[in-house]
Amino acid sequence: MSLHPTPSPFSPIAIGPLTLKNRFIKAATNEGMSAQGVPSKQLVKLHAALVNGGTALTTVAYCAVSSDGRTLPNQLILVPESLPHFKALTDAVHREGGLASAQITHGGCFTFIRERSTARPLSSSGGFNKIGMMSGMFLKQAMNERDMQQVVQDFARAARLARQAGFDAVEIHMGHGYLLSQFISPLYNKRRDQYGGSLENRLRFPRRVLRAVLDAVGRDMAVICKYSITEGVRGGNSAEDGAQIARMLEQEGAHLLVLSAGMNAESITTMFGSSFPKENRVQQKNPVIALAMAIQRLTDPKVEFRELYLLEHARKVRAAVKMPLAYLGGAKSLSSIERIMAEGFDLIAMGRVLLAEHDYVNKLASGASKNSICTACNRCVAMMYTPGGTSCVLGKPGDAELNRQPAAAQ
Q: What is the pTM of this model?
A: 0.94
**Which of the residues are catalytic?**
178
pLDDT at 247 exceeding the cut of 60: yes
pLDDT digits (tens, 9 = 90+) for 254-278: 999 999 999 998 999 999 998 877 6
Enter the DSSP assignment of 186. Answer: T
Q: Cα(340)–Cα(326) distance, rounded to whole angstroms?
A: 9
The helix (run of H) or strand (run of E) holding residue 314 is helix 311-320
| Domain positions in the chain | 13-403
Distances (CA, A) of 320 to 3, 45, 249, 316, 344: 19, 39, 12, 6, 12
Could you tell me the CA-to-CA distances from 46 to 51, 160, 172, 291, 390 in Å, in that order?
A: 9, 24, 22, 29, 10
CA–CA separation, 35 and 310 (whole Å): 33
pLDDT in tens, 192-222: 999 999 999 999 999 999 999 999 999 999 9
Q: Cβ distance 146 to 118 under 8 Å?
A: no
**With bands split at pLDDT 50, 70 and 90, how would you rate the model's confidence at 290?**
low
**Residue 300 pLDDT grade (very low, low, confident, very high; cuts 50, 70, 90):** low
Cα 188 → chain centroid: 19
pLDDT above 70 covers what percent of the chain?
Answer: 93
Mean per-residue pLDDT for 157-177? 98
Instruction: Report how far residue 42's alpha carbon sits from residue 400's, in angstroms, rounded to the nearest whole number.
Output: 8
Q: At 174, is the secondary structure helix, strand, or coil?
A: coil
The string of pLDDT tens digits covering residues 32-88 is 999 889 999 999 999 999 999 999 999 999 999 999 999 999 999 999 999 999 999
Domain 13-403 carries which CATH code? 3.20.20.70
Check residue 58 and give left, alpha or beta (phi > 0: left; psi -120 to 50: alpha).
beta
- Give me the pLDDT at residue 1, please: 36
Q: In angstroms, how far is CA 274 from the centroid of its own chain?
A: 18
Confidence tier at 134 by pLDDT (50, 70, 90) = confident
